[in-house]
Amino acid sequence: MAPIVHGLEAKYNSQINFVYLDIDDANTQRFKEALDYIYQPHIFLLDENGNIIQQWVGYVSLTELETVLVSAIQ
Amino acid sequence: MKIIPGLWLGLWVLMALWATACAQVFPTVQAPDLPTSVPTEVEQIAELPPTETPVEEPAVVDPTSEPTATKIAEVPTEIPPSETPMPTQTSEESPGDTTPLGSPELHATDPSTVNLASGEVQLVEFFAFW
């Protein structure tokens, strides 16, 4: 499944850092463990210190994502 | 065997008549004029101008002389920027109207560059290419 937040990146990349981690890449294992990754797609919104603000497992609507992103950057 | 001379004469007359009849039915076709003189191969060869084959003399290399350095023209590696500007994608829609899901340019972030505590808000997505 392709990343679903690329559209949001085009809109908010100046305010939010977007990271796409390939679950098949062995080098992403430490991030899976750090964030308690379950299965893809698994999206995390992190604050400046790496704390999880919110997370979504599975399908999430773009509207819901955008609403949370906007509230996080305000 | 004895053949009657009159029979021979009759046969000759019949043959003559038959040949005459055939000549009238099938008129002779006159062959086109053919060249009377056909050039022979020997004549054609004789008409060719004599060719002179230049004899190349072997180049004399002086073993004491040092080889001359040949300067190779420098090829510019940089491609000059085209004067025609790249077309920019313009859209009359306002950016807030629709935000497409996904992107044709699928790429993964290099994990070695990722820092979870980056000092700014981050959206981290775990995904697969399949």
Hey, are the CB atoms on A18 and B108 less than 8 Å from each other? no
Residue showing tokens 């022979």: B40
Highest mean pLDDT (candidates A23-37, B2-16, B28-42): A23-37
A44 vs B102, B112, B124: nearest CB: B124
Structure tokens at B90: 């313009």
Mean predicted confidence (pLDDT) in A27-37 = 94
Q: Does residue B102 contact residue A2 with C-beta atoms inside 8 Å?
A: yes
Alpha-carbon distances, residue B128 vs A1, A41, B125 (angstroms): 6, 8, 10
Which residues have CB under 8 Å from B118's CB, separation 6+?
A17, A48, A50
Contacts of B99 in chain A (CB under 8 A): 7-8, 10-11, 62, 66
Q: Which residues of A12-39 are buried (b: 16+ CB within 10 A; e: fewer)?
A: beeebbbbbbbbeeeebeebeeebebee
Hey, are the CB atoms on A16 and B102 less than 8 Å from each other? no
DSSP states along B59-76: PPP-TTSPPPPPPPPPPP
> Which chain B residue lies closest to A61 (C-alpha atoms)?
B101
Contacts of A2 in chain B (CB under 8 A): 102-103, 106, 127, 129
- Which residue would you say has higher pLDDT here, A20 or B7? A20
Distance from CA of B92 to the nearest CA of A (A): 16
DSSP code for A58 = S
Distance from CA of B88 to the nearest CA of A (A): 15
Contacts of A60 in chain B (CB under 8 A): none
Phi and psi at residue B95, in whole multiples of 5°?
-65, -20
Task: Give the predicted TM-score (pTM) of the model.
Answer: 0.48
Complex prediction ipTM: 0.92
Q: What is the percentage of chain B residues whose pLDDT exceeds 90? A: 14
Q: What is the percentage of chain B residues whose pLDDT exceeds 70? A: 34
